[in-house]
């Protein structure tokens, strides 16, 4: 990848030093010419990770495409909070059709652009984890398999937040949602086999797959830019904490996202053509408890007596990620 890794840590903090970078590597959001594709005034909750991720991702995509961008949006929080007509926050051509078809609608737009000879116009589809992992999975897999020229962005807040916090197949084990309540012996969402969509995307051998969190927005922007250097199906999966559904403070969204990465629960990686090409290292490995404890959706694990058994199983998931994706080892970054 062309992005030059820079250590943003200054005396042990996570402060981003944008001014330390050459112009072409500075964040899109730092540029006065950013498009504000998802403009202010929308109705997302305070501290919404999805709104943050979408603003950075789409502005970066706009910059990468010289503002020749069309977006298809699945039903969900992002769609609802951005377009309470007559107000719309979208400063780009944008269409919402259904919950489960954003990838297919985007395929149609991309096909139309090819027919019109508008190869310069690029297409983004976006949705939450419900619209991606669950109800939109068939259309997404079809778009991947045909290698349609679409960048699909999943804003993963690990549940159906728009309908009032219900479980999705992206909801982590033990998490409380309104359909996985920790009642009796139950510790919230049951442990299943998981449905890690980035790996499923990679299994389609599509040109580019990446994960990111809203804790590392520079990294997110770089990945969107990188995605736009490819033609064909691309997938970016962004972890976007949800203060409402996860039960953490509105000011803690970025901290929680960072903890998801630093514990190993959410691997941040890149893959090209189905092969892993880059993994963001964990800076300081933290126990999963650090991530779980600040979130009300895991509060039942920390009552008296605490559910050490459940916490241990979640730790095992993190450890497995660390091994599988070598999150702690030094691997050569792809030049």
Contact residues for another protein, defined by CB under 8 A: 67-70, 72-73, 79-80, 83-85, 88, 90-98, 100-101, 104-117, 121, 138-139, 141-142, 145-146
Q: How far apart are CA 330 and CA 28, in angstroms?
A: 29
Cβ proximity to another protein, 128 vs 241, nearer residue: 128
Instruction: Output the six-digit token pair for 43.
Output: 């109705």
- Closest distance of CB 236 from another protein, Å: 20
Cβ proximity to another protein, 201 vs 282, nearer residue: 201
Cβ proximity to another protein, 25 vs 83, nearer residue: 83
CA neighbor of 32 nearest in space, from 42, 21, 44, 23:
23
- Closest distance of CB 311 from another protein, Å: 40
Cβ proximity to another protein, 108 vs 232, nearer residue: 108
Residue 258 CB coordination number (10 Å)? 22
- Compute the CA torsion angle 9, 14, 15, 16 (nearest 10 deg): 70
Q: How far apart are CA 107 and CA 95, in angstroms?
A: 13
Cβ proximity to another protein, 43 vs 281, nearer residue: 43
- Closest distance of CB 212 from another protein, Å: 25
- Closest distance of CB 109 from another protein, Å: 4
CA neighbor of 126 nearest in space, from 87, 164, 70:
70
Residue owning tokens 């991606």: 132
Cβ proximity to another protein, 68 vs 166, nearer residue: 68
- Compute the CA torsion angle 280, 70, 132, 216 (nearest 10 deg): 20
The alpha carbons of the chain give a radius of gyration, in whole angstroms, of: 19
How would you classify the pairing of strands 275-279 and 69-73?
unpaired
DSSP assigned state of 140: H
């Amino acid at each position: 990848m062309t992005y030059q890794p820079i250590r943003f840590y200054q005396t042990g903090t996570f402060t981003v030093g944008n001014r330390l970078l050459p112009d072409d590597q500075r964040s899109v959001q730092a540029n006065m010419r950013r498009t504000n594709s998802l403009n202010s005034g929308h109705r997302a909750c305070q501290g919404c990770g999805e709104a943050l991720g979408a603003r950075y991702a789409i502005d970066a995509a706009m910059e990468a495409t010289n503002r020749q961008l069309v977006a298809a949006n699945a039903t969900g929080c992002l769609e609802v909070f951005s377009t309470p007509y007559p107000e719309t926050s979208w400063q780009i051509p944008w269409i919402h059709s259904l919950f489960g078809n954003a990838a297919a609608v985007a395929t149609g737009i991309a096909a139309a652009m090819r027919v019109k000879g508008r190869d310069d116009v690029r297409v983004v589809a976006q949705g939450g984890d419900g619209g991606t992992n669950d109800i939109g999975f068939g259309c997404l897999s079809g778009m991947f398999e045909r290698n349609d020229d679409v960048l699909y962005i999943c804003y993963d807040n690990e549940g159906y937040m728009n309908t009032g916090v219900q479980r999705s197949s992206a909801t982590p084990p033990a998490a409380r949602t309104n359909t996985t309540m920790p009642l009796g012996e139950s510790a919230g969402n049951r442990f299943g086999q998981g449905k890690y969509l980035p790996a499923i995307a990679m299994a389609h051998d599509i040109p580019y797959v990446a994960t990111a969190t809203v804790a590392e927005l520079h990294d997110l922007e770089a990945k969107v830019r990188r995605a736009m250097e490819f033609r064909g199906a691309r997938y970016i999966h962004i972890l976007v904490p949800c203060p409402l559904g996860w039960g953490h403070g509105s000011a803690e969204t970025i901290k929680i996202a960072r903890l998801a990465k630093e514990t190993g629960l959410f691997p941040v990686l890149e893959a090209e053509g189905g092969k892993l090409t880059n993994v963001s290292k964990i800076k300081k490995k933290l126990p999963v408890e650090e991530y779980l404890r600040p979130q009300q959706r895991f509060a039942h694990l920390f009552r008296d007596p605490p559910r050490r058994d459940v916490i241990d199983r979640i730790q095992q998931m993190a450890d497995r990620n660390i091994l599988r994706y070598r999150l702690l080892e030094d691997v050569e970054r792809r030049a």
